[in-house]
Structure 1
Amino acid sequence: MKIRRFYGKDMRDVLKQVKDELGGDAVIMSNKKHADGIEIVAAYDKEPDAQIKPSPKPASANGANAQVSTPTLSEIIGDTGPDSLKALLEKQSQAALKQTEPSRPSQPTQKSHVASPQPLIAASGQESLALKEMRQELSSLRNILQFQVSGLIEQENNRKHPLHSYLVKKLLQMGISNSLAEEVVAYAPESANEREAWLFLLKLLANRLQTKPDDILSQAGVVALMGPTGTGKTTTVAKLAAQAAQKYGPEQVAVVTIDNYRIGAFEQIATYGKIIGCNVKKAQNASELSDLLYQFRNKRLVLIDTAGFGQQDARLIKQLDTIKQNSCVTIRKYLVMQANCQYRVMQQTIKEYRQVSLQGCILTKLDECYSLGEAISVAIENKLQVCYLTNGQKVPEDMQPADTKFLITSAAKLYKKFGLLHTDTNHITNAAVAV
């Protein structure tokens, strides 16, 4: 038995080498894919004429198994070789099916002289692995081609509509999502110059953004602030309570916390309550919350401070159920989100808290933002009204009702100030000079 290794840039090349050197009766033992191409191990019997080949006999009535031989190279690629990789895959697949086809069981009264099927199973497994690798390689090539084609299409669009492409790029640098940027730029007038088109897009974003300024303080009732951990819910509750106390009197304001997980949560809000002069209580469950809300039924404004959980935390569902189980009074729910958070994180946060009906959102930590486009995109795409903005830790000064013009103008200013730092590949000194 003669065994040789062959290397080639692809399967067709290496199979041609095998056939040219060993002939069409060579048997493929294994194949591997390397960084530089394909490696095949092939075997060939040097003395095929010396072997006595028994003439094939038809299967007897008792159903004895017929010995299945390993397919040769000629059986895999044919005498002239396949014209395409698809033909090669079809031939190898047919050979694998022939080897794995189960034979009829023999009768227990007679002994079967069929050779052990283990080598055939191993060869079949190797061919199946080769087919799997080929499919993966074809899939990878398809993805690369799709990427290249999309790049060519984008280049063609940039050539045909240079102003639109420039405006989309500016919006993306400002933090606006790709889908929203493409949507608003489609309305930009072709005849406008760069500055006119840019101002048009900012006005269009302002028209799309929904705000509900001073919604919480202007209406009496019960309000719950919800959101992930670290968004500033407790501080925002204190700011709202302080402003409501200044407007209506501290006796008209009450605060209830259901945050039973964070250490010192009640003590923190209780300290704010002593400074403001309003009542602060703690509820352990839905029943206690209902009792406290009934107790404070004559208050103008009752604020509920909730615990902060991650979007995948199971305790979040329990807390949402606690809010929904209350039936004695209608609770208006507002989502508190960090304005400096990632776009996908904010999208997932809204998705999780959509389980309860949200009346709007409060954007916090505007003073820590380098970009506001992400928060604006999330609010527009989810049609979520922005009610308040916070930009610091001072209670109650660092909070203001949401204003559309202020948000869009602030986003444009942040882009003008910091946009180049995120997109320029030059040294930091050059970027600082450009800003």
Structure 2
Amino acid sequence: MQVKTFTGASSQEVLARVKAEMGPDAVILGNRTYRKNGVVCHEITAGLERNAPGAPTAPSGPDAAPGGWSEWHREWMQIKDQLFALMKPAIQLERLTPRQRIALEYLQREGVADAVAVDLYKRLLADPGASVLECLCGMVPVRPFGAAEWPQRLHLVTGPFGAGKTTTALRFALQLRARDAGLRIAFVNADCLRGNGRLVLRHWAELSGFAYHEAADRESMARALTATAQADAVFIDTPGMARGETLARWRAAMGLDTAATDDAACHLVLPPFCDALQVEEFLGRYRADGPASIVWAKLDEAVSFGTIVNVGAGTQIPVSALSYGAELKESLSPATEPLIWRLIFKRQIPGRPGGEGGASAPGSESARLTGRTA
């Protein structure tokens, strides 16, 4: 690797020199700011790694990433982190009110990403009279699960293995049945190769009076959809996608890509304690065309909830429900803004009277620092 150090009067000037001399493939290895003879100097160390002759190229095809995509993506993430490190000293927290400053610092301790924190900071400066919650509500969309907000007849419940998608599908169905006892609900188990989930879904579907079908391939999926044509709501429990697989390809293989976009919704079930790289991988693997939502599950197992803010602000996919506990009943709440921000600022699980311990902001302190009652 070729390594070179650049200095200049501003970080922008130094970055421009790095790009001009080493090209767009340069990787930022380090940066520092220091004073020399009373003058502020910015120093950036960059590296450039050349591929060896005869090195293998990335696979081709419509689904393959462009050549060098993985390396480019890794380098870009490093550059982005360095840029945010350079921007942090320029964020003048004293320009915020005490409540806004305390809230921003609290969110960063909870794992809110630098990009989201900078966006929130800019929104607060643009509207000095706004509360933190008002700005956050504009960044994290919410669309509570229910027949009115989600009128689609087909609901694909997706997510990684062990995330709780099978129990989430059952909880969704029980929520709808509780609001309309005459609703005709059916389940299609497309994850029928996993014995435990298959038995649980079949048992509770039969116990609750829901129609139950299994679909392991395209032909059986077509038969199941025909058999459930008269149902008001059909929940499809999809299998987890291994690395290299995607929900889009699975839908095409099962004949579900031809379903009308406005008649099918996808609900991605995720726990909030995955790291940023894992969440990014899951979002790409389970990306859905058409109506989609995120269900945050296993909230009672998490210690912080900054990921909820990061994903909502970064993807604009609405949060539809919050799931917690091991029981099927009274363990899922349609998402609302008050429920989400109580969870973020007070670590209060929906349906429980108090916060979930730890260094959470007390109730009165949460309302004080956000400038608005959650």
The TM-score with structure 2 as length reference comes to 0.64
Question: Residues 371-390 of structure 1: CA distance to partner in whole angstroms, max 9, x if unpaired?
Answer: 11211221121010111111
Choose the corresponding residue for 1:245, options 171, 177, 180.
177
Corresponding position: 1:200 with 2:131? yes
Higher-RCO chain (CA-CA 8 Å, sequence separation at least 6): 2
In structure 2, relative to structure 1, the CA distance for the partners of 1:394 and 1:382 (3 Å cut) is same
Corresponding position: 1:294 with 2:226? yes
> How many residues end up aligned between the 2 structures?
280
Query: How far is the alpha carbon of 1:139 from its aligned partner?
Result: 5.8
Corresponding position: 1:347 with 2:310? no
Counterpart amino acid of 1:408?
W
SS, match of residue 216 in structure 2:
coil
Counterpart amino acid of 1:410?
L
2:66 corresponds to: none
1:219 corresponds to: 151
Q: Distance in 1 between matches of 2:258 and 2:312?
A: 29
Query: How far is the alpha carbon of 1:166 from its aligned partner?
Result: 6.6
| Native 8 Å contact 2:143 2:335 kept in 1 | yes
Q: Distance in 1 between matches of 2:165 and 2:182?
A: 20
SS, match of residue 142 in structure 2:
coil
In structure 2, relative to structure 1, the CA distance for the partners of 1:156 and 1:227 (3 Å cut) is closer
Query: How far is the alpha carbon of 1:163 from its aligned partner?
Result: 5.3
Identity within the alignment, %: 17
SS, match of residue 198 in structure 2:
helix
Counterpart amino acid of 2:123?
Y
| Native 8 Å contact 1:168 1:182 kept in 2 | no
Corresponding position: 1:332 with 2:252? no
Counterpart amino acid of 1:233?
K
SS, match of residue 362 in structure 1:
strand
Q: Distance in 2 between matches of 1:335 and 1:139?
A: 45
Q: Distance in 2 between matches of 1:154 and 1:298?
A: 57
Superposed CA RMSD in Å reads 3.5
Gaps of 5+ in 2: 8-17, 19-27, 34-41, 44-81, 349-354, 362-374
| Native 8 Å contact 2:346 2:360 kept in 1 | no
Counterpart amino acid of 1:333?
C
Corresponding position: 1:176 with 2:112? yes
Higher helix share: 1
Counterpart amino acid of 2:200?
Q
Counterpart amino acid of 1:375?
I
Q: Distance in 1 between matches of 2:116 and 2:184?
A: 43
Corresponding position: 1:235 with 2:171? no
Query: How far is the alpha carbon of 1:178 from its aligned partner?
Result: 0.6
Counterpart amino acid of 2:121?
V
Query: How far is the alpha carbon of 1:333 from its aligned partner?
Result: 1.6
Question: Residues 190-223 of structure 1: CA distance to partner in whole angstroms, max 9, x if unpaired?
Answer: 997xxxx8x8223210232211113457625111
Q: Distance in 2 between matches of 1:264 and 1:359?
A: 27
1:279 corresponds to: 211
In structure 2, relative to structure 1, the CA distance for the partners of 1:360 and 1:302 (3 Å cut) is same
| Native 8 Å contact 1:221 1:300 kept in 2 | yes
Query: How far is the alpha carbon of 1:256 from its aligned partner?
Result: 0.7
Query: How far is the alpha carbon of 1:351 from its aligned partner?
Result: 1.9
The TM-score with structure 1 as length reference comes to 0.56
Q: Distance in 2 between matches of 1:155 and 1:241?
A: 46
